[in-house]
Amino acid sequence: MTDQVLNIGITGLHCGSCVGRAEAALLALPGARDVRVNLADHSARVGGVAATDVVTALEAAGYPARVDHLTLSVPGMSCASCVSRIEDAAGRADGVLDVQAHLPTRVVQVNTAGSADAVMAVLAEAGYPAQHETEAAPTDDPAARYLRRFGIAAALTLPVFAIEMGSHAVPAVHDWVAATIGQANSHILQLVLSFAVLAGPGAGFFRRGIPGLIKARPDMDALVALGAGAAFLFSALAVLAPGLLPPSGVYFEAAAVIVTLILLGRWLEARAKGRTGDAVRRLLGLRPDTAEVESGGTFAPRALDAVVVGDVLRVRPGGRIAVDGVVVDGATHVDESMLTGEPVPVLKSAGDMLHAGTLVTTGTLTYRATHVGRDTVLARITTLTEQAQAARLPVEALVNRITARFVPAVLIVAAVTFVLWWALAGLAPAVVSGVSVLIIACPCAMGLATPMSIMVGTGRAAELGVLFHKGAALQRLQDARVVAFDKTGTLTQGTPSVMHVAGDDAAIMLAAAVEQRSEHPIARAIVAFTPASAGQVDGFEAVLGEGARAQVDAHTVVVGNAAMLAREGVASEATLMDTGAGWAADGYTVVHVAVDGAHVAALAVGDAVRPGAKDTLADIAASGRQVAMISGDAAPAAQYVARQLGIEHVVAEVRPDGKVAAIEALQDQFGPVAYVGDGINDAPALARADVGLAVNGASDAAIEAADVVMMSPDPGAVLRALHISQATLRNIRQNLFWAFGYNTVLIPVAAGLLVPFGGPQLSPALAALAMALSSVFVVTNALRLRRAGA
């Protein structure tokens, strides 16, 4: 806020000249006033400019602001209008750079160059006391709290409802009440019981709602307090001072039922909300509490927090890996579905990586810890999931702007309804109509429509091995009209392997024996293709860029390209050369084999297409999207893979800037583009695409540039990400349609618009029930996403 004088902590101040340079940077800001930099406490004081401008100017001068990232728990956040008021209030605190309130978890995240105390003070003043999330009571279960309040309210409300509504509906009940306790005593009893409901379990509505009204910042609690309070006060005056009001009925049951039913809705809502966080809780639950750690030659249980990098651990069949590590001894299949979404267990043996939370199936493994605590892949997945669940989509910003103005608009509609009914039909119908409008219009469902779907959808995505690194990607991904893939490591395995063989099998065995002495990737591919090769190898010699030769069991063996054959004076065999030329045209690397001066075999080494890639791309195309491939590889290799997978749009032999240009061309031609890659050279393209998706094993640069991180290398993960995005946005649209449609239809009904035409008018009690159930509907609908993408 530019009308504030900000107090901001800064770093890097060492002397008087530092102070002068920092002050000069701040004075250069347009509108800056009251500038003072204090060397003693390393702070800057400045007015007339925004906190973000101050931080930018100080950083440019070499004196960065001390920015704290606060996570505050705000139990009083109950509706969408609360969200906007909390964000506005926190934004007024000294030094606040940005703030985001998250309704489902009742958490506020603040980046501030000021103090946490300043933020908490302005929130308390606004009626939303906050505390650091780590200080929040871990045993405070909102669902249990609302259930207790609902139980007490229901017990007190039932006699009121039975007496009043029973007397209206059944004449015998009316006669029994009059004969047993008397009509006047009946009203006094109802007054006492309904007051107990409002002052006891319903007190929170008044405690939060009335200050909001006084400060002209009404929220949902204010609507409930006004509605229930108006019904109670009208009835109390009618009973205690009957001369002040014209003859009319009493509505104690309406006041009590409103509070009781809304508490019922809050309980059901809180209970359902608790299930929306199941994904993160399940992820955390995959981590064992203890691990078997080697000490003095034996393995003994140790608390997980006490495990450090370098410890040697053991896991038995059926156990879960405790920390990330590398296998030292043993071999077994490990179920990694919680990371990758892939159901097939993976064979792990010495040298293979293990990840915390994965499940050992049959054998026992010994492994050395490489990453522990917050550094494990499981911990990072949990953090990314929590961040994605707290994300705010562009559509949510629009909803919050609407709901921020909705409550004041409802107050106006309720006031107009009250005045019109009072003028046309009397005070009692006016109270009923005005209270019904206040209650039916509570915007809970609107506020929950988007964040609940995001919370469940991103949690489900994490279970399927898809992490939305940047929350807005959840909305943008479903808009993508093109899905473009890098080739190597994305559509293909990323490592060379022998794809075709021609010639003498015995010669291939001899070639593998030679290549066992080489570290070249192609040599490793040949050895992997013929692991049983053996023989006495002597005189191994590698020729850079051409191949290698050696003596194997008294045979002279030459392995390499055509130039290597010519160097060794080997006459090429025509059929093998023609076959090799065909392979080369398809982008393969051709390796020839000569034994004792005769050209006897040839191999095609290439990068194999990933299993399932063709079906995945076909499904993406069937969804109405274009599929493209953008690769830095040679055009023949790229075109060959494209033909195998049915890809029409191919751009090959491009450097990183060329990939960016290719994406821009696709955007101009088709619209939003999603790009899938894994390498450092893919980072610019991932950043330029409307949505960037990094596959498993991607470089750090690619992951940082990407919006979505997929834990599986299978291209099918892209399809799962698309399905989750589509399902979540469809769910949000359903929720918003219900929330806005509900209010659009029922507010006029509650106002009595249909009464002159013989239509119904909602009573306050029915209005409370409808409002409560609307929120429950939205949360329950969001929970359907737990089955999405299956």
Q: CA 72: distance to chain centroid?
A: 19
Fold of 495-609: Calcium-transporting ATPase, cytoplasmic domain N (3.40.1110)
Exactly one of 53, 486, 633, 678 is catalytic; which is it?
Answer: 486
Domain extents in the chain? 5-60, 68-135, 287-385, 465-492+613-723, 495-609
Residue 318: the pLDDT is 86
The overall average pLDDT reported for the chain is: 82
The pLDDT of residue 131 is above 80: yes
Residue 705: the pLDDT is 74
Q: How does DSSP classify residue 441?
A: T
The pLDDT of residue 138 is above 50: no
In this prediction, residues 176-181 reach a mean pLDDT of 68
Residue 1: the pLDDT is 45
Query: In CATH terms, are 5-60 and 495-609 the same topology?
Result: no
Candidate from 230-239, 318-327, 334-343 with smallest mean pLDDT:
334-343
Residue 637: which of 578, 579, 590 has the closest Cα?
A: 590
Q: Got the DSSP string for 473-510? A: HHHHHTT-SEEEE-IIIIIEEEEEEEEEEEE-HHHHHH
Residue 137: the pLDDT is 47
Domain 465-492+613-723 has CATH 3.40.50.1000: yes
The pLDDT of residue 121 is above 70: yes
Q: Got the DSSP string for 551-580? A: EETTEEEEEE-HHHHHHTTPBPPHHHHHHH
Q: What percent of the chain has pLDDT over 70?
A: 86
Distance in angstroms (rounded) separating the CA atoms of residues 262 and 458: 29
Quick one: pLDDT band at residue 314, thresholds 50, 70, 90? Answer: very high
Per the CB < 8 A criterion, the answer to whether 724 and 464 are in contact is: yes
Fold of 287-385: 2.70.150
In this prediction, residues 242-262 reach a mean pLDDT of 73
Per the CB < 8 A criterion, the answer to whether 67 and 58 are in contact is: no
The pLDDT of residue 675 is above 90: yes
**Better-predicted residue by pLDDT, 51 or 397:** 51
Residue 565: the pLDDT is 93
The pLDDT of residue 243 is above 90: no
Per the CB < 8 A criterion, the answer to whether 610 and 578 are in contact is: no
Q: Give the Cβ contact number of residue 238 at 10 Å.
A: 23
Per the CB < 8 A criterion, the answer to whether 436 and 258 are in contact is: no
Residue 134: the pLDDT is 58
Distance in angstroms (rounded) separating the CA atoms of residues 368 and 314: 9
The pLDDT of residue 601 is above 90: yes
Quick one: pLDDT band at residue 272, thresholds 50, 70, 90? Answer: low
Long-range contacts of 287-293 (CB under 8 A, 24+ apart): 287/320, 287/322, 287/356, 287/357, 287/378, 288/319, 288/320, 288/322, 290/322, 291/315, 291/322, 291/323, 292/316
Domain 5-60 has CATH 3.30.70.100: yes
Across 391-481, where does the E strand assignment appear? 466-468
Residue 43: the pLDDT is 79
Give CATH for domain 68-135: 3.30.70.100
Alpha-carbon radius of gyration of the chain: 35
Beta-bridge mates of residue 497: 606
Q: What percent of the chain has pLDDT over 90?
A: 23
pLDDT digits 0-9 by tens, 349-358: 888 889 888 8
Please indicate whether residue 486 is annotated as part of the active site: yes
The pLDDT of residue 276 is above 60: no
In this prediction, residues 20-31 reach a mean pLDDT of 86
pLDDT digits 0-9 by tens, 467-476: 887 667 888 8
**Better-predicted residue by pLDDT, 339 or 730:** 730
Candidate from 57-61, 121-125, 169-173, 532-536 with smallest mean pLDDT:
169-173
User: Residue type for 96, please?
Assistant: V
pLDDT digits 0-9 by tens, 360-393: 888 899 999 999 888 887 777 777 666 665 666 6
Residue 280: the pLDDT is 57
In this prediction, residues 240-256 reach a mean pLDDT of 71
Candidate from 230-234, 308-312, 769-773 with smallest mean pLDDT:
769-773
Residue 672: the pLDDT is 94
Q: What angle do CA 234, 235, 237 make, to 5 degrees?
A: 70
Per the CB < 8 A criterion, the answer to whether 52 and 60 are in contact is: no
In this prediction, residues 576-600 reach a mean pLDDT of 91
The pLDDT of residue 266 is above 60: yes
The pLDDT of residue 240 is above 80: yes
